[in-house]
Structure 1
Amino acid sequence: MSTDGGSPEGQQDAVPPSVRAQLLASEHWGLLASRSTAQSEVLTRISMFLTFTSASVVSAALVGQATKFSDAFVLLAVIVLCIDVAMGLLTQVRVLNVAQEDLMYVTAMNRLRAAYVDLDPDVAPYLMAAYHDDESGSERTYFFFGNRSAFSHVAGSSMVFMNCANAALIAILSGLLLTLVGAGTTAAVIVGAACGFAFLAASAYYGYRAYAGIWSRYTPLSPTPPDGPDL
Structure 2
Amino acid sequence: MSEEPGDATPEPPAAQPAVSPGIRAQFLATEHWSLLASRSTTQSEVLTRISMFLTFTSASLLSVALVGQATQFSEAFRAFALTILSIDVVVGLLTQIRVMSVGMEDLMYVVAMNRLRAAYVDLDPGMARYLMAGYSDDEEGAKRTYYFFGGRRDFSQVAGSSMVFMVTANSALIALLVGSAMVAAGLPVPLGVAVAVAAALTFFGISMARGGRRYFAVWKNYKAIFPTEV
Q: State TM-score, norm by structure 2.
A: 0.93
Gaps of 5+ in 1: none
One-letter amino acid matched to 1:198: T
C-alpha distance in 1, partners of 2:177/2:185? 13
C-alpha distance in 2, partners of 1:22/1:214? 30
Deviation at 1:7, TM superposition (A): 2.3
C-alpha distance in 2, partners of 1:7/1:180? 77
| 1:183 counterpart = 2:183 | no
One-letter amino acid matched to 2:117: R
Equivalent in 107, 118, 142 of residue 111 of structure 2: 107
One-letter amino acid matched to 2:27: L
Aligned to 1:201: 205
RMSD: 1.1
Between 1:185-194 and 1:175-184, the stretch displaced more is: 175-184
C-alpha distance in 2, partners of 1:139/1:167? 28
One-letter amino acid matched to 2:120: Y
Q: State TM-score, norm by structure 1.
A: 0.93
SS of residue paired to 2:136: coil
Equivalent in 200, 210, 216 of residue 212 of structure 1: 216
| 1:145 counterpart = 2:153 | no
C-alpha distance in 2, partners of 1:58/1:172? 14
Deviation at 1:6, TM superposition (A): 3.6
C-alpha distance in 2, partners of 1:198/1:172? 14
**Runs (4+) off by over 2 Å:** 4-8
C-alpha distance in 2, partners of 1:82/1:140? 41
C-alpha distance in 1, partners of 2:113/2:201? 37
Gaps of 5+ in 2: 1-11
| 1:158 counterpart = 2:162 | yes
% identical aligned pairs: 59
Deviation at 1:5, TM superposition (A): 6.2
Deviation at 1:146, TM superposition (A): 0.8
Aligned to 1:7: 15
Aligned to 2:6: none
C-alpha distance in 1, partners of 2:222/2:92? 30
Deviation at 1:179, TM superposition (A): 1.0
Change (3 A) 1:175 1:5: closer
Equivalent in 86, 90, 102 of residue 94 of structure 2: 90
